[in-house]
Amino acid sequence: MAQDPADRSGDINFADLDVAIAHWHVRAWGGAEYLVTKLAKALDVESVYTLGAPEPDDPNPYGDVGFEDVTGVLDYPRIRRIQRLADRVFEYSQWEDVDWRKLGDPDVLVTSGATTRAVITPDDTLHVNYCHSPPRWFYDLYHDRKGGLTGALARPLLRHLRTRDASLDPRVDHYFVNSPIIKRRLWKYYKRDAEILYPPVDIESYRNDGDDGFYLHLGRLDHEKGIEAVVDAFRDSEHELVLAGGRGDAYSSVRDAIENADNIDYRGFVSEEEKYDLLARCQAVVFNGRSEDFGIVPIEANASGKPVLTRDEGFPGIYVEDGKNGFLHDGTPKGIQETIERFGSQHILNSSDGVERFDVGAFRDRCRGQIVKWYAAFTVGTTPDDYP
């Protein structure tokens, strides 16, 4: 008689599992790359498989985990590299064509990102996907991105890719998601349940060095980060704002406004050490991401003992308790200004309470424990002790 999976998980040692990780690509050092680096560290994986070598010239700022290009195991690698210029159009098929038997035939393959879900693993390999979100421009943001002539012309392609994306779901055995928001979104679009595994924060690396009087915005200058409203809220105010992050896709008018504002200091992409220093010395962090899947910046702010003034949607809107560890605003310039005024008139206590659940140790233990549990259930009926 086969053992119950819950009973078998105690007999499996994680260290005995051969685990591999695949991440769709590295176009920039962002949140997904931070997560996959920490995931590799937690699972004792030294190198992550990707399509193509990392494009940024600077080394991985999040750790010493390497990236290994799988293009070499594909047929016609030169053509494959040309195809990748079309982004996701060919990315699904390229992951589908990777023969994992040539890469060690792992016991467990953890994929990161949407297109990596296309992998076809050996039948004895457990496939776990860490879902940052179902592709937003296929699903929840489709109507925001289909306008204009370009959007209209792209609709047939988007419909094809949405169908392609949805067809891959049966290839995933189990999902991790980064927040309750993505757990809900995964069920909405794929009808799949998932385990929440919050991205880790190295709590001990953060500190509070007091208040140098400036507000801080961490993140790329992107439309989805709501950077236009942040700049509008500050450029005619008496408050100092420091921006730290890549140039992003903001309009040139936004960059011009930043350059012309005496009270806005744009630092560009900063090192981890400088990030910790800015967080330690700011008086509060301003965050304006649209329906953020997770949003690690509010956690980093609180880990530094600083409140966060965040948009009232997505996971940050759930995480921040108004008046306790930060204040909520509606994402408009006026809303941000009103929140700054509220912050200036109210004193926040214990903004760092509750951040321990996001610590690296908690991430490692939960990730390993869940994989062992899933693997135990996956292998029931495949060992001699299970034979009738």
Res 31: pLDDT: 83
Task: List pLDDT tens digits, range 77-104.
Answer: 889 888 888 878 899 999 999 999 999 8
Clarify whether residues 227 and 369 are in a common domain: no
Residue type, 286: V
Domain co-membership, 189 together with 41: yes
DSSP symbol at 199: P
pLDDT value of position 384 = 56
CATH code of the domain containing 217: 3.40.50.2000
Is residue 244 domain-shared with residue 375, that is, in the same domain? Answer: no
Judge contact between 42 and 364, C-beta under 8 A: yes
Give burial (CB, 10 Å; 0-12/13-18/19+) of 53.
exposed
Which regions in the chain score pLDDT beneath 50? 1-2, 5
Whether residue 185 sits in one domain with residue 213: no
Whole-angstrom Cα distance, residue 93 to residue 88?
9
User: Which pLDDT score, from 0 to 100, does residue 91 have?
Assistant: 92
What pLDDT, on a 0 to 100 scale, did the predictor assign at position 388? 53
Is 177 in the same domain as 292?
A: no
Is 372 found in the same domain as 244? no
Using the structure block, give the residue that is written with the tokens 């086969």.
2
Q: 28 and 88 share a domain?
A: yes
Task: Quickly count: other Cβ atoms within 10 Å of residue 147's Cβ.
Answer: 9
> SS3 for 140?
coil
Residues 308 and 253 in one domain: yes
What pLDDT score was predicted for residue 4? 55
Same domain, 319 and 375: no
The number of folded domains in the chain is 2
Residue 343 lies in domain:
203-355
Specify whether 344 is located in the same domain as 379.
no
Q: Which amino acid is at 13?
A: N
Same domain, 62 and 186: yes
Write down the pLDDT at residue 1: 44
Same domain flag for 23 and 99: yes
Q: What is the pLDDT of residues 264-283, one digit of tens each?
A: 999 998 988 999 999 999 99
